[in-house]
Structure 1
Amino acid sequence: MRKITRFFWFCSGAHIDTLKKYPLEHNKYVGIGATIFFTALFACLAGGYAMYFVFSGSALAVVFAVLFGLIWGLAIFNMDRYIVSSINKQGTTNQQILQASPRILLAIMIGIVISRPLELKIFDKEIREKLKTAYLKGQNRKIDTLQKTYTQKYTMEMTKNNDLKREKDSLERDINRSRVQLNEEVFGSKTDQTSGLAGYGTYAKQKEIILQEKEARLKTVTDDIGKMDQYLAQRKDFEGLNNTRLFTNEQLDSLANIAGFADRNWALGQLAFRQDGTKDLDTYLAQSFIGYLFILFECLPVFVKLMSPKGPYDVALARLSEAEIHFADRDKDREMSLTDQVFDHQLDTDVVKRKKIITAQSDYDFERHSYE
């Protein structure tokens, strides 16, 4: 327990040697340190989960996720630790709130960032269904676009093909009627279209010739339809219409599994809306409260530090800070004094040297003058 306590003291950014002297403050800073630690832990998990989807499908996805998660968690831990430890309890309440305002805004931003990846995991099942629906709609739109483009480009050929098919249907009906009439003429059945004379006579031969002409035309039309169908099928392959199919359930599951962070984030935002575009209040509130929870959790260390009354540790820490400032100023004065002394000594040494040089020069000039 001592090691855990000291660890949470370290997480809170407290001066451990000073904090040891005030037992009443121990639990408060254990709570602050634990809050900072678990906030960083959630940030680590959120960052790693987000990075895992960024590199999803790669063999090193897990390695990158763990590495980035640790770096992100340590960065949040260091930032929270600095935010809490830098709040000065010596000022008034308004001064403390004003001092903590930028830190609270920063904590809100951090809370939003770390909550989003965890929301993606919490709503994973709903996100998958939303993605599958979106992919299926996208494939439908793609097929419709290809079909529309194909129809616009080959309208003339399709119209001609339809005309040939209608002519074929008409010819087949006429041929069936002509065969019936030929049989009636041969067997002597009396109708409006036959003579009533049995045998293969003139009328029967005429009807047979007409039947053969219609059959020849039917063969020509059938051949033309086959050629046109083959041509249109080739054009469909060329335009990619034959190769584009609706996704199966297995394909949709696979696409949802490999969906990137951007697609999943988009799907999470779309969960708050129904099919008709109206807002789904229940889902919206669920997402919002999860985000608010993490924002509150991230701001909690700052709020705890602001709400806690000024204790003996804070007074001692302020005195220690004042003493450190005093000692720093004293050391600075000493350094300046020593610098001045060295400068004065150097200056005195230079003056003495100049006097000696002037004296020597004067003696030299006097001796030279005497010699001359």
Structure 2
Amino acid sequence: MRKVTRFFWFCSGAHIDTLKKYPIEHNKYVGIGATIFFTALFAALSGGYAMYFVFSGNPLAVVFAILFGLIWGTAIFNMDRYIVSSINKQGTTSQQILQASPRILLAIMIGIVISRPLELKIFDKEIREKLKLAYMKGQHSKIDTLQKTYNQKYGMEMNRMVDLKKERDSLTKDINRSRYELNQEVFGDKTNQTSGVVGYGTYAKQKAGVLQEKQDRLKIVMDELNRMDQYLGDRKNYEGLNSTRLFTDKQLDSLTNIAGFADRNWALGQLSYNTNGTRDLDTYMAQSFIGYLFILFECLPVFVKLMSPTGPYDVAISKLAEANLHLAEKEKERDIEVTDKVYDHHLDTDVEQRKKLITGQSEYDLGRHSYE
């Protein structure tokens, strides 16, 4: 427990040697340090989960997720630790709030960033269903667009094919009727359209000729129809109509498994809306409360530090800071004095050396004159 306590003290950014002297403050800083630690832990999980989807499909996705999660969690831990430890408890309440305002805003931003990836995991099942509907709707739209473009580009050919089909159907009916009348004429059945004479006579030959003309025309129409059908089929392949199909359940599952962070984030935002575009209040409140929870959790160490009264540890830290500042000023003054003394010493040394040089030169000149 001592190791755990010291670890949470370290997480809170407290000066451990000073904090040891005030047992009444121990639990407060254990709580602050634990909150900072678990916030960093959630940040690591959140960042790792987000990075896992960024590299989804890559064999090293897990490695990248773990590495980024550790880096992100350490960064959040260091930032929270600095935010809490930098709040000065010696000022008035207004001064403390003013001092903590930028830190609270930063904590809110961190809470939002942390909560989003975790919301993606919490609503994973609903996000998958929303993505499946979106992918199916998108595929429908794609097929409709391709069909519309195809109809616009090849409208004349399609109209021609419709006319050929109508003519084929009409010729088929006429041929069946003409063949039936020809049989009646040959067998001598008396009707309004036959002569009633048995045998292959003049009227039968005329009806056979008309039948043959219709059959020849039907053959031409069928050849033209087959040619148009082949052409339009090739155009469908070229435009992608034949290869574009609605997704199967297996394909939809595969698509949702490899969906990226942007698609999942979009789907999460769409969960709070119904199909008719109205707000789904229940889902919206659930998402909002999860985000607010993490924001509160991130701001909690700052709030605890602000709400807690000034304790003996805060007074001791303030005095220690003043003492260190005073000591630093003394050391600075001492360094200046030492520098001045060294400078004066070098200056005196230079003067003495110059005097010696002048004296030595004078003695040399005097000796030379004596010799001369």
Q: TM-score, normalised by structure 2?
A: 0.97
Q: Which moved more, 1:285-294 or 1:183-192?
A: 183-192
CA–CA separation in structure 2 for the residues paired with 1:208 and 1:342? 136
Unaligned runs of 5+ in 2: none
Q: How far did 1:333 drift?
A: 1.6
Aligned to 1:345: 345
Aligned to 2:251: 251
Aligned to 1:358: 358
Aligned to 1:196: 196
Aligned to 1:276: 276
Q: Which moved more, 1:309-318 or 1:233-242?
A: 233-242
Aligned to 1:237: 237
Aligned to 1:55: 55
Please list the CA deviations of residues 76-126 of structure 1 after superposition, one character each: whole Å capped at 9, or x if unmatched. 001100110110101101111111111111111111111110010011111
CA–CA separation in structure 1 for the residues paired with 2:2 and 2:148? 74
- After TM superposition, the structure 1 = structure 2 runs for residues 118-129 of structure 1, keeping only pairs within 5 Å, are 118-129=118-129
1:222 equivalenced with 2:222 (yes/no): yes
- After TM superposition, the structure 1 = structure 2 runs for residues 319-338 of structure 1, keeping only pairs within 5 Å, are 319-338=319-338
Amino acid at match of 1:95: Q
Aligned to 1:104: 104
1:261 equivalenced with 2:256 (yes/no): no
Q: TM-score, normalised by structure 1?
A: 0.97
CA–CA separation in structure 1 for the residues paired with 2:187 and 2:215? 22
Please list the CA deviations of residues 174-227 of structure 1 after superposition, one character each: whole Å capped at 9, or x if unmatched. 111112222222233332212233333221221111112111211221122112
Amino acid at match of 2:312: P
Aligned to 2:93: 93
Q: How far did 1:356 drift?
A: 1.8
Amino acid at match of 2:247: F
Q: Which moved more, 1:188-197 or 1:111-120?
A: 188-197
Aligned to 1:22: 22
Unaligned runs of 5+ in 1: none
CA–CA separation in structure 1 for the residues paired with 2:356 and 2:231? 117
Amino acid at match of 1:35: T
Aligned to 1:45: 45
Aligned to 2:156: 156
CA–CA separation in structure 2 for the residues paired with 1:201 and 1:360? 163
Please list the CA deviations of residues 153-191 of structure 1 after superposition, one character each: whole Å capped at 9, or x if unmatched. 222221221111110000011111112222222233332
CA–CA separation in structure 2 for the residues paired with 1:315 and 1:232? 88
CA–CA separation in structure 1 for the residues paired with 2:195 and 2:236? 53
Q: How far did 1:340 drift?
A: 1.3
Amino acid at match of 1:167: E
Amino acid at match of 1:104: I
Q: How far did 1:364 drift?
A: 3.2
In the alignment of these two chains, the number of paired residues is: 372
Q: How far did 1:291 drift?
A: 0.9
Aligned to 2:310: 310
What SS does the aligned partner of 2:88 have? coil
RMSD: 1.3
Identity of aligned residues (%): 78
1:70 equivalenced with 2:70 (yes/no): yes
Q: How far did 1:52 drift?
A: 0.4
